[in-house]
Structure 1
């Protein structure tokens, strides 16, 4: 995507439940920052889902790849990406709690 935002990509419509065709790993994608003369990313390709902690580490890794100027331009978007991952972690926790309560 164009713009100053880090984006998440997946190679299947639902990377939590589907397997990529042609024998590719089950969980594959990348976090990417794009813009004017910029295209940096951190990719993953593995048989198990990434954890929220690993996702946060990938966001940190991507941010570290950028110049100071590009980091400043994308500060808000990196904060949003981290917030989204932390909200996902809370949602997963609530789902697990709900599963325990309904048993």
Structure 2
């Protein structure tokens, strides 16, 4: 399996924006067939080093992760939305 983790630091981390970002990420469930696991978390510590929203996903293979990146719902809807909301984004991908 491949684990894909993305952290988002929002430009304006209001409660409404955090909720909207979480909802957008969670909306991929059932719409992106190669996703094997999808979890979205909101930071509770809120320190200077914290990011606001975390995306934790799993895929069967590296090929599935690559297909996810360009899958229309993710690539044309979710990713552009999250980029527009974010001041910074970091990711890690590893075999699990």
TM-score band w.r.t. shorter chain: 0.3 to 0.5
Q: Which has the higher helix share?
A: 1
Q: Which has the higher strand share?
A: 2
TM-score, scaled relative to structure 1: 0.33
TM-score, scaled relative to structure 2: 0.35
Structure with the greater relative contact order (CA < 8 A, sep ≥ 6): 1 or 2?
2
Work out which of the two has the higher radius of gyration on C-alpha atoms and give 1 or 2. Answer: 1
